[in-house]
A and B are shown apart, each in its own frame.
Chain A
Amino acid sequence: MTVRAQWSLAWKMARRELRAGLTGFRIFLACLAVGVAAIAGVGTISASVTGGLNADAKNLLGGDIDLRFHNHPNNEEQNRYLKANSNTLSKVMELRAMAAPVGGRNGAARGRSLVELKGVDEAYPLSGAMVLSPDLPLKSALGKLDDGSFGAVVDSNLLKRLVLSSGSSDAYNQAANGLPL
Chain B
Amino acid sequence: MTEQSDTAIQLNNVELTLTSNAGEVNILRGIDLSINSGETVGVVGPSGSGKTSMLMVIAGLEKISGGDISIAGYGLNGMSEDELALFRQGHVGIVFQNFHLVPTMTALENAAMPLEFAGRVDAFERARVELEAVGLSHRIDHYPGQLSGGEQQRVALARAFAPEPAILLADEPTGNLDGDTGLKVMDLLFSLKERCNTTMMLVTHQPELAERCSRTIHMLDGKISNDG
How far is it, in angstroms, between the C-alpha of A168 and the C-alpha of B157 when the chains are bound? 94
Question: A83 — which chain B residues lie within 8 A by C-beta?
Answer: none
Question: A18 — which chain B residues lie within 8 A by C-beta?
Answer: 104
Taking a contact as CB atoms under 8 Å apart, the answer to whether A16 and B104 are in contact is yes
A3-19: CB near B (< 8 Å → 1, else 0) gives 00100010010001111
Question: A9 — which chain B residues lie within 8 A by C-beta?
Answer: 116-117
Question: A5 — which chain B residues lie within 8 A by C-beta?
Answer: 119
Question: A109 — which chain B residues lie within 8 A by C-beta?
Answer: none
- B48 contacts A by Cβ under 8 Å: no
Taking a contact as CB atoms under 8 Å apart, the answer to whether B116 and A19 are in contact is no
Report A42 CB to chain B, min CB distance, Å: 38
Question: B105 — which chain A residues lie within 8 A by C-beta?
Answer: 16
How far is it, in angstroms, between the C-alpha of A23 and the C-alpha of B201 when the chains are bound? 39
Report A72 CB to chain B, min CB distance, Å: 76
How far is it, in angstroms, between the C-alpha of A12 and the C-alpha of B113 when the chains are bound? 11
How far is it, in angstroms, between the C-alpha of A18 and the C-alpha of B109 when the chains are bound? 14
Taking a contact as CB atoms under 8 Å apart, the answer to whether B116 and A12 are in contact is yes
A42-58: CB near B (< 8 Å → 1, else 0) gives 00000000000000000
Contact of B119 among A1, A12, A16, A19 (CB under 8 A): A1
- B103 contacts A by Cβ under 8 Å: yes
Report A99 CB to chain B, min CB distance, Å: 69
Q: Report the nearest B residue to A2, measured CB to CB.
A: B119
Q: Report the nearest A residue to B113, measured CB to CB.
A: A13
Question: A16 — which chain B residues lie within 8 A by C-beta?
Answer: 102, 104-105, 109
B94-128: CB near A (< 8 Å → 1, else 0) gives 00000000111100010000001101000000000
Report A171 CB to chain B, min CB distance, Å: 74
- A95 contacts B by Cβ under 8 Å: no
Taking a contact as CB atoms under 8 Å apart, the answer to whether B104 and A19 are in contact is yes
Question: A19 — which chain B residues lie within 8 A by C-beta?
Answer: 104
Can you give 14 contacting A-B residue pairs, CB < 8 Å? A1-B119, A5-B119, A9-B116, A9-B117, A12-B116, A16-B102, A16-B104, A16-B105, A16-B109, A17-B104, A18-B104, A19-B104, A20-B103, A20-B104
A residues with a Cβ closer than 8 A to B are 1, 5, 9, 12, 16-20
| 11 extra interface residue pairs, beta carbon distance < 8 Å, beyond A9-B116, A16-B102, A16-B104 | A1-B119, A5-B119, A9-B117, A12-B116, A16-B105, A16-B109, A17-B104, A18-B104, A19-B104, A20-B103, A20-B104
Across the A-B interface, the 8 shortest Cβ-Cβ residue pairs: A1-B119, A20-B104, A19-B104, A16-B105, A16-B104, A17-B104, A9-B116, A5-B119
